[in-house]
Amino acid sequence: MSLFEKHKDLLDQAMRALHERTFFAAYPEHPSPKIYGETADEEGRKRFEASLGKKFDELKQPDPQDWIGEEESPYTQEKLGVTYPSFSVENLLGKAKDAYHHWRKVGADERAGILIESLEGVRSRFFEIAYATMHTTGQGYMMAFQASGPHAADRALEAIASGYEELGRFPGKAHWDKPMGKYNIVLDKQWRAVPKGISVVIGCSTFPTWNSVPGLYASLVTGNPVIVKPHPGAVLPMAIVVAEIQKVLIENDLDPSICQLAVDSFDSMITKDLAEHPTVKLIDYTGNSAFGSYLEALEGKVVFTEKTGVNSAILDSAQDIDKVAANLAFSVALYSGQMCTAPQNFYIPSGGVITPGGKVSFDEFAQKLVDNINGLVDNPKAGPFVLGTIQNKNTGDRISNAANLGGKVWLASRSIENPMFKNARIATPVVIELDASQKDKFSTELFGPIVLLIKTKDTDESIALAQEMAMEHGAISCGAYTTDDTVKEKIADEMALAATPVSFNLVGGIYMNQNAGFSDFHVTGGNPAGNASFTNPEYVVKRFTWVGHREPAVQA
């Protein structure tokens, strides 16, 4: 049985899910992580720990020029000591160029089968990847497992399914017969989906797999060789993924250089050298806006970006304001606000929020939010694990400096203790009040657990400001609370014009930060927060070109 036949049912389910947009998870997380094996967690932890201080020698990339690695755990603030084989840019590109001509000749069926098989290998290492993610990004354990394991694998499968479907959109050949009266013009035609060429995937430090695997698998399924350039602070999770892909390639007598890992150091980064090289045709990037805009401006490249944005929460009215405050408190505390979908700007009318029991004033809501944040972070069974740690020291500095914005500080950031890691770098959310007139204070992304409560004249001004921030500075998510259908439609329409999806009236266990594979489009590509959206058709069709050939048909 071929790998395509082995995985065809799953591929068909995934393609169907793309169209239905209802819940689908090929790699579930419930009812508990133990569905992947009673001892899988312990085995994954031991495997991660066994890799510390050693060379990562699983990659099929021989004869490195050096071994480098600079990862540090935000939990222990100690080096992981894992080193990876490094190569010159020319070496990587030379191998990728050779691999291109092998991989592009592999049919779409075979490519899809190989790639889904690689996800089965990744699946067997979900827990090892979880600990690697935890100790490079600072995510809490459960988020690290979910986001870098099942959720990332679902996003990868989504890209495979989307790419496979687009490759099959048109027939490979056709007999073309045009009547001309006394005779017919008869041609035989064929069409080929030609991959664009070498692809570079540039990873980020906070979600190294979830943000990288969609572009990685979208390029691979459409026939492009890929060089994965992870953030030097978060290499191990993607090194494991690349190793599993290379393993399946070799098992199928293919060149492992179809997918390579390219590591660098903070002092000697190779990202620009790779991106600017004329042989690189595709670039996927997650990170800050300045570098993303630079990449988008490169000539001769197809670039897919997810950059920074200013996410909003609009408060108009609510059925239960306490549940709203609890939901938003969790949203800002989750992974210490280090999510591209986390809310930052809370727009609240000066006259208060309408509830069945009367209006809740601006100050009353602010206090409810603060109380809920404190209740969460001071809960020893929840706080340290929801917050995780601060991945980057620069984020810690930004949190410390937030009080200098000039508004009223409703809640100062502080550190709490993680019972398992005494040296964990932790900062609780800071909550600051600003006025709608202080636009210069809230018109940029303040990455981290920084909450700005912005007092507006009314809901109309709240909507206008949220739309303006999205249009001018980008937004990936928006939360809104209203019990008025007219207001709800206005928010939906105005934010749609700003290419920003809205989560309405979320309470309980679902948060505006969360994004579901096969259902939610992550980033729309329609505002400055990014020019791409995974996984919509454009995300894959721009990775290859349809080329047609024709010739007179041979007459029988």
State the total domains in the chain: 2
* Chain segment 68-87, per-residue pLDDT in tens: 999 999 999 999 999 999 99
State yes or no: pLDDT of 232 exceeds 70.
Answer: yes
State yes or no: pLDDT of 138 exceeds 80.
Answer: yes
pLDDT of residue 313: 98
Strands (E), 180-277: 184-195, 198-202, 226-229, 259-261
Read off φ and ψ for residue 298, nearest 5 degrees: -65, 135
pLDDT of residue 33: 83
Question: Residue 153 to residues 133, 163, 304: CA-CA distances in angstroms?
Answer: 14, 15, 20
In sequence order, the β-bridge partners of residue 549 are: 190
Of 28-32, 42-46, 329-333, 455-459, give the lowest mean pLDDT range: 28-32
As given in the structure block, the two tokens for residue 212 are 């990288």
Same domain, 125 and 68: yes
Q: Is residue 519 part of a domain?
A: no
| Residue in the block written with tokens 């395509």 | 4
pLDDT of residue 30: 79
Q: Is residue 219 part of a domain?
A: yes
pLDDT of residue 544: 98
What percent of the chain lies above the pLDDT cut of 70? 100
Residues near 516 by Cβ (< 8 Å), separated by ≥ 6? 23
Same domain, 290 and 395: no
The SS3 call for residue 3 is helix
Read off φ and ψ for residue 277, nearest 5 degrees: -65, 135
Same domain, 175 and 295: yes
Taking residue 110's Cβ as centre, other Cβ atoms within 10 Å add up to: 15
Q: Is residue 337 part of a domain?
A: yes
User: What is the domain-level CATH number for residue 483?
Assistant: 3.40.309.10
3-state secondary structure 347-415: EEECCCEECCCCCECHHHHHHHHHHHHHHHHCCCCCHHHHHCCCCCHHHHHHHHHHHHHCCEEEECCCC
pLDDT of residue 16: 98
What is the distance between the alpha carbons of residues 297 and 277, in angstroms, rounded to a whole number?
A: 14
What is the distance between the alpha carbons of residues 386 and 400, in angstroms, rounded to a whole number?
A: 20
Average pLDDT over residues 251-257: 98
Q: How confident is the model at residue 29 (pLDDT cuts 50, 70, 90)?
A: confident
Same domain, 395 and 411: yes
Same domain, 396 and 466: yes
* Chain segment 474-513, per-residue pLDDT in tens: 999 999 999 999 999 999 999 999 999 999 999 999 999 9
Same domain, 207 and 345: no
Same domain, 207 and 290: yes
Range of the domain at 92: 27-307+537-548
Asked whether the whole model's pTM tops 0.85, one would answer yes
Taking alpha carbons only, the member of 140, 137, 352, 128 closest to residue 235 is 137
Same domain, 376 and 278: no
Taking alpha carbons only, the member of 68, 89, 86, 66 closest to residue 200 is 89
Same domain, 290 and 318: no
Average pLDDT over residues 256-285: 98
State yes or no: pLDDT of 32 exceeds 90.
Answer: no
Q: Is residue 38 part of a domain?
A: yes
Same domain, 334 and 278: no
Q: Is residue 4 part of a domain?
A: no
Q: Is residue 523 part of a domain?
A: no
- Report strand pairing: 502-504 vs 478-481: parallel
Average pLDDT over residues 158-173: 97
What is the distance between the alpha carbons of residues 343 and 324, in angstroms, rounded to a whole number?
A: 13
- Report strand pairing: 430-435 vs 450-456: parallel
As given in the structure block, the two tokens for residue 188 are 């035989």
Q: Is residue 527 part of a domain?
A: no
pLDDT of residue 46: 98
Q: How many helices (H) and strands (E) would you count in the chain? A: 19, 17
User: What is the domain-level CATH number for residue 223?
Assistant: 3.40.605.10
pLDDT of residue 554: 84
Single-letter amino acid code for the residue at 30: H
Q: How confident is the model at residue 556 (pLDDT cuts 50, 70, 90)?
A: low
* Chain segment 187-223, per-residue pLDDT in tens: 999 999 999 999 999 999 999 999 999 999 999 999 9
Q: Is residue 362 part of a domain?
A: yes
Average pLDDT over residues 359-386: 97
Same domain, 234 and 375: no
Average pLDDT over residues 132-136: 98
Taking residue 417's Cβ as centre, other Cβ atoms within 10 Å add up to: 12
Q: What is the DSSP string of 489-536?
A: HHHHHHHHHTT--EEES--TT--TT---TTTSPBS-SSBTTBS--BTS
Averaged confidence pLDDT in the chain: 96
pLDDT of residue 498: 98
What percent of the chain lies above the pLDDT cut of 90? 97
The SS3 call for residue 314 is strand
As given in the structure block, the two tokens for residue 207 are 């979600």
Same domain, 404 and 484: yes
302 close to 283: Cβ distance less than 8 angstroms: yes
As given in the structure block, the two tokens for residue 50 are 């066994």
